[in-house]
Amino acid sequence: MKNNKRKRSIWVGIIIALVVVLLIAIIFIVKAGTINYLSPEEFLRMFELGQIRPENMIIEQLSSGDSIITGKFIQGNSYAQFKFILSRNVMGDEIYNNIRNALDGTITQIREQSVWLGLISSFLPMLILIAFYIWIFSAMSKGGAGGMLGGQKSKPRQVKSNVKFSDIAGINEEKAELIELVDYLKKPEKYAAHGARVPKGVLMEGPPGTGKTLLAKAVAGEAGVAFFSMAGSEFEEMFVGLGASRVRDLFGDAKKAAPCIIFIDEIDAVGRKRNSSMGGGTTEQTLNQLLVEMDGFEINSGVIVMAATNRADVLDSALLRPGRFDRTIQISLPDIRERADILKLHSRNKSVSPKIDWKNIAERTPGFSGAQLENVLNEAAILVVRGDRKIIELTDIDEAIDRVIGGPAKKSRVMTLHDKDVVSYHEAGHALIGMKLESASKVQKVTIIPRGSAGGYTIMTPKDESNFSSIDDLKATIIGYMGGRAAEEIMFGKNKVTTGAHDDLDKATNIARRMITQFGMSDLGLTKFVTMQEEAAGYMKGTYSDLVASKIDEELAKILKHSYQEAIKVINANKPELELIAESLRVLETITSEQIEYIDKNMKLPEEVVREKESRSKKEEEIKNGDLIELSPDDVD
């Protein structure tokens, strides 16, 4: 702490010295640039020549008998200021009398200078510097130098949580892990009697939107204790010492309100690994203070620290040791059963059609977090309000899922007949691969309605939700991504393929590269070319030689080429089915898994497609015969 104070004093001294030098320089520059001190001879000559005029002079009588003459004189095409001291002792009797005679009868204003005014003008700069010095140290004593630039101390937010475990669905195992905390906060004596120590800290790790903050609020709500929350970034400021001060304040307030819970969101902002380059920086000081407060010499009786992050790999090892964060809870994205439970939970306060099967909706939302599922139902409710209807139907939820994935539908976007054909065959290619390959994902929905930058898309989910992917699974996924481009080449020719597959190629390339560099699933062997640390930091290129990099590129090209050839083979073998799926898309624009399965099983168009085609043919016939004059935009493509 002494070293910290010494460093702080040095920085304050440097800042003050720079400010003093700057002020003095400004004063001298201003004085030197605006006032011209004249000698008695120059003043007398310029006055006789008329360059100095009486109306441009002010004479101030001093208590010593001397006078100060200030004013302006003509210099070129403008005026310049001057200052002249009229003193018998300085210039002698002869010159003094000549100037007095020259000025006789010409003085327009005489002002006697006060002694106090002279003292104030002499000492005013010094007083300003002293006041500035006091202000700086006052700001430093109130929480670091952050106050100098207007930064105020961010007080920890103490709230009373109303969230209960019943308000959370889909993470039952994680909730069970936190029951001990609630029980301890309610009955600490029960644990003390058995010599058990409750976890001092709980770290929750998982992707965004999986319910980490919600779990912390639920623990506080169930226990009925105070809940302090701060974000990791709130501890840090520009100057040294402020982050550590905020940590002390947070734990000081928490000890007064014990038993309580401290929740630090995004703790990786303040708890990153220390290294030699950090030195005595603000981040290391704040982390050191946090380590001391969590498990130092003082006992934080009744204070439980909960923290959330999606980057536990970057946290300092001292922060993760038992005694600080005793328990780490992994919160993953919900599986199909958990997604159904989350959807049911968020539908409690909404008017939903009883025909909706939540398991079916869960199948259409693979990889969705709890926050995204809540957003799906909220978007569906907004669509019902917009349509001035009473209950949420399946079509509303389907549209809401599409909105969450790709944004609002751009039905006004002009699409030529050729573009519609290209998109239909492209998406039909993806769907066909999903139907025919055993390891490929199941097709849930295909649409050619533009959303965002996509002309259409296919929603596919794994046939069996597993925590692991085999080589066959990954290769089938790559072949599925290649299905769109392969269908375009087969139907329109090799030189007529479009740029519509750019996103598919990006995803396929990423999977293939990870198979080679991280999973050991290629002919290059089991070597892991990208380490865990490099992978966590987002680096796809590890520390390997140029020769190895060339081999990786060759292997990557080989995997993608083989996958594309497989996609061509599958589509050529099932070309009639491709035509049926594409025709269904051109007619309905959106088809579901049930309709695709009907095509695959019966090799004919679904009844909905047939009815829609008959309806359009009837209207076209009526137009041709003159029975129908006008069509709405929805009646024609």
Give catalytic residues, as residue numbers.
427
Cα 578 from Cα 567, distance rounded (Å):
12
Packing angle, helices 370-386 and 336-346, rounded to 10: 40
150, 156, 158, 163 alpha-carbon torsion, rounded to 10°: 110
What's the rounded Cα separation, in Å, for the pair 556 and 513? 6
What residues are paired with 409 via a beta bridge? 451
Phi, psi at 29, each rounded to 5°:
-65, -45
As a whole number of angstroms, the distance between CA 53 and CA 48 comes to 9
Instruction: Name the phi and psi angles at 306, rounded to 5.
Output: -120, 140
**Half-sphere exposure (CA, 13 Å, Cβ side) for 515?**
26
Nearest to 221 by CA among 282, 300, 163, 165: 163
The number of angstroms, rounded, from the C-alpha of 141 to the middle of its chain's C-alpha atoms is 33
Write down how long the chain is.
637
At 421, list the tokens.
């054909």
6/155 Cα distance (integer angstroms):
26
- Helix (H), strand (E), coil (C) string for 259-326: CEEEEEECHHHCCECCCCCCCCCHHHHHHHHHHHHHHCCCCCCCEEEEEEECCHHHECHHHHCCCCCC
DSSP string, 336-367: HHHHHHHHHHHTTTS-B-TT--HHHHHHT-TT
Please state, in angstroms and as integers, the Cα–Cα distance from residue 123 to each residue in 126, 127, 436, 482, 560, following that order.
5, 6, 92, 82, 81
Taken in order 391, 396, 400, 403, the sign of the CA dihedral is negative
Q: Which two tokens stand for residue 423?
A: 């998109």
- CA–CA separation, 478 vs 123, rounded Å? 80
Q: Are 87 and 96 in contact (CB under 8 A)?
A: yes
